[in-house]
Structure 1
């Protein structure tokens, strides 16, 4: 077995130094046990409360209708996280927290606050309006933000930037919206049962159209503001403690404001809802989508810029920075490994890609002086994993780098005959698809050629 290369020079920064021993409340067993117990109890209680308000039949109808947008939203957030995919346990925790713990906090606190205001002011109608536009945004966004805070504090290695914040916040909000939609749709079904509403005129159909068809992204949009605040804080140095506190708080306040505007749109007149939806919600959703995609492209550029240091040290092959910095090349590498060695090999290539990406982000933070105290240990861990998987992943990535590289036209020798007159057309070298095109210059056999198989000994 080949000996691993020497470790590259570590960037200096405030994170260099000895590791600190975790407190008792930071131990994995204590954290996992407490969270699982909390989420299980919250799930049982929220299930009982929703079923009590909607009835068994309404609960089942609401559950069946509320599940429609969930796979689409989860798939979208997972797609955004493909550059450096976080572990599934973080997403599972986030969704469970939103659907169980955050929903339970919201339903109890909103109900208590609304009843207290109605009693204190003797104005039930005004209490409902105040509860929807003020109390609900504060309570619900704070409850959802707790999941982002927990991942930020206890899964810090997996929370490295804006995309991670958006994904964790969005998945949490998706779980919250799922439980809330069960309640609203189940209640609407019960109303139709009492009033005889049917078809398009039913309350259930109207509720389904507004909450599931028109605005399934509403809760995720609000909470991702909090996630962006935490994401920017994750990019800042550990010495800037005030900024790391103010940024998440600013994102949370923005989320509360957007939520309040959305809930209060119905009180702005007959067209208030459509004005807020078309004039604010849709542009905000488009801006968020652009920001996340731009951030994802920036992450890929970071991979291409940081990994050459490990190529120079001998840890990576020369073609890998390009392949790992392209989502198309990554996919081609996994497909190539799956075609030749099966799906388990494709999963190993995907793990290699994730480790190398984490390595690039870690070195980027270290170069900027924002690395944590565990920089050296974490770099060694990632390099060891990359080295362990190199024999399987390198051939696939080399193939992907060649196949994804843009074709380079081969210049043909100038014709021996003299040029025609000034107004006549000049010959041009052939391009891909034309006769005389020689393919990728300098690569030897083309990756698509049957004889090319890097796995063959």
Structure 2
């Protein structure tokens, strides 16, 4: 690769350019203050960089692996897992609903058929959300927790609250309970999962609008799954089952995820505000939108088929189309953010120019991992996820949301990317054929990245 640089383009440190001053606090007479770029841990020996002569280099200096890839242990960045107590509570709630469905079923065959029909609807909707979540896939444990929360805690809690409201507030009026009580209880409980995700280290997973949409969707899918299970289990005829399948699966498969998504929009808008009052206001507005749509849906179905179809065509479909367009736009913007941040990672030495080329596209990412053994594919996936998360964090810092916690997360992720690259170098570095290079760009002073030392035998050698 040529050493020439575009006009007015600062040369990166690894090509002889100036090394930026440290971004941390100035030294004190007692010694230098800790830098945010200091490793939060000491690398254990299992993933220390190898010593000895570097392997022979191929194109662009990429080393040719001398032996099959063996996974190297790399300490993960700090994350908050799905709490065991929360998983158990959600699972118990889901088990209670399944028991109720089983006890209400006319026959075992009816219950099995209900499980199959409810699963069909859930699988279709989950597949759509997984497509939306391809740039930075959410941890499976969180997704399972969201599903169980919707299907367990939210479902059981809503059943209890609706019964209380029906007896004490609505005097047994089924229409009012369905149009007012059900949306109040169900949307509040489904949306509560998003507030849980904003606590502690779990907040690190909520880095984009897509993340909030996915977690809201999984909570809604879990709720819809067990609700469909209850309805199908109590069906008394084939005609009734057919009608419910048409109304609840073909027409309403996205209903509960769609309603909860309105809460997600409010939560995401609140995350873009600094004032506490504004945060609360946007969350309540999103929740109110979810309740209104849910109430209209239930109210229309309580009157007639004409009212139901009219509400579906005139209200639900247009609102759903707007939401889908917004979700697709959010997914596309995630790719824009990643491609915008990659040149600065090249400048710092975290990745090579050619690696930045294939990291900037979902298609080339998939092509680079296609056919790899499981361990190698997992190593590459972990590396690409870390690069993507680092890009999102840096984008948030550049947009003026820098905090000490976010700066620490950026430093930790940068170290994590460097160590993942070193550990999986025999797999990652040969993935350079036929990919356009991405030239380095110096980071702005407001969001510095330190230059990382060259890896022995690596692409800068």
Q: Shorter chain as normaliser: what TM range?
A: 0.7 to 0.9
Gaps of 5+ in 2: 1-12, 26-34, 37-78, 439-457
Residue matched to 1:442: none
Mapped to 2, the partners of 1:8 and 1:308 lie a distance apart of 20
CA–CA distance in 2 between the matches of 1:67 and 1:327?
29
Q: How does 1:129-208 map to 2 (within 5 A)?
A: 129-154=175-200, 155-188=202-235, 191-192=236-237, 198=238, 202-208=239-245
Q: 2:53 maps to which residue?
A: none
Q: Name the structure 1 match of 2:301.
A: 266
Matched, 1:91 2:125: no
- Match of 2:435, SS state, is helix
- Taking the TM superposition and a 5 Å limit, the aligned residue runs for 1:102-141 are 102-117=154-169, 120=171, 124=172, 127-141=173-187
Instruction: Confirm or deny that 1:290 pairs with 2:322.
Output: no
Structure 1 CA distance for aligned equivalents of residues 148 and 99 of structure 2? 16
Report the Cα offset of residue 36 of structure 1: 3.0
1:231 aligns with 2:265: no
The equivalences for 1:372-387 within 5 A come to 372-387=403-418
After superposition, the Cα gap between the structure-2 partners of 1:9 and 1:399, relative to the gap in structure 1 and judged at 3 Å, is: farther
Q: Does 1:319 pair with 2:354?
A: yes
Distance of 1:396 and 1:8 partners within structure 2? 33
Distance 1:10 1:204, change over 3 A: farther
Q: CA RMSD in A?
A: 3.0
Indicate if the aligned counterparts of 2:133 and 2:211 stay in contact, CA closer than 8 A: yes
Does structure 1 retain, via aligned residues, the 8 Å contact 2:87–2:148?
no
1:300 paired with 2:352, answer no
Structure (1 or 2) with the greater helix fraction: 1
For the 8 Å contact 2:228–2:248, the answer to whether it is kept is yes
Contact residue 11 and residue 367 of structure 1 kept, 8 A: no
The alignment status of 1:71 with 2:123, answered yes or no, reads: yes
Distance 2:330 2:21 in 1: 27
Cα shift at 1:38: 1.8
Q: Which structure has the larger Rg?
A: 1
1:200-238 Cα offsets, whole Å, 9 max, x none, are xx111111111012220111111111112222333x25x
Residues 325 and 164 (structure 1 numbering): CA distance in 2 closer, same or farther, change over 3 Å?
same
Alignment CA distance shift 1:55-1:143 (3 Å): farther
Counterparts of 1:87 and 1:257, CA distance in 2: 31
Normalising by structure 1, report the TM-score: 0.74
Q: Which moved further from structure 2: 321-330 or 131-140?
A: 321-330
For residues 12-62 of structure 1, what are the alpha-carbon distances to aligned partners after superposition, in whole Å with 9 as ceiling and x for unaligned? 9xxx99xxxxxxxxx969x72431332233233323333333355343332
Are 1:356 and 2:387 counterparts?
yes
Give CA deviations for 1:248-282 in whole Å, capped at 9, x if unaligned.
22111101011011111135554111111112222
How far 1:160 sits from its partner (Å)? 1.1
Structure 2 CA distance for partners of 1:69 and 1:8, relative to 1, 3 Å: farther
Equivalent of 2:153 in 81, 94, 101: 101
Contact 2:221 2:257 in 1 (8 A): yes
Q: Which moved more, 1:241-250 or 1:69-78?
A: 241-250
Q: CA deviation at 1:185?
A: 1.0
Matches of 1:98 and 1:302, distance apart in 2: 31
Number of paired residues? Answer: 369
Identify if the C-alpha distance between structure 1 residues 70 and 348 changes in structure 2 by more than 3 Å, giving closer, same or farther: same
Cα deviation 1:113-141 (Å, max 9, x = unaligned): 223356x4xxx5xx000011010011100
1:46 corresponds, among 92, 97, 103, to: 97
Normalised by the length of structure 2, the TM-score is 0.73
Range with greater deviation from structure 2 (270-279 or 254-263): 270-279
Residue by residue over 1:371-394, the C-alpha shift from the partner in whole angstroms, topping out at 9 and shown as x without a partner, is 343233322322222222322464
Show CA shifts across 1:333-384 (max 9, x none): 222xx34xx2321221111111011111111111122134323332232222
Could you say if the C-alpha distance between residues 264 and 319 of structure 1 is closer, same or farther in structure 2, counting changes exceeding 3 Å?
same
Distance 1:70 1:396, change over 3 A: farther
Q: State the structure with bigger RCO (CA 8 A, min sep 6), 1 or 2.
A: 2
Does the Cα contact within 8 Å between 1:161 and 1:232 map onto a contact in 2?
Answer: no
When residues 9 and 275 of structure 1 are mapped into structure 2, their CA distance, relative to the original with a 3 A threshold, is farther
Q: Is the 8 A contact 1:162 1:230 kept in 2?
A: no
Equivalent in the alignment of 1:395? 429
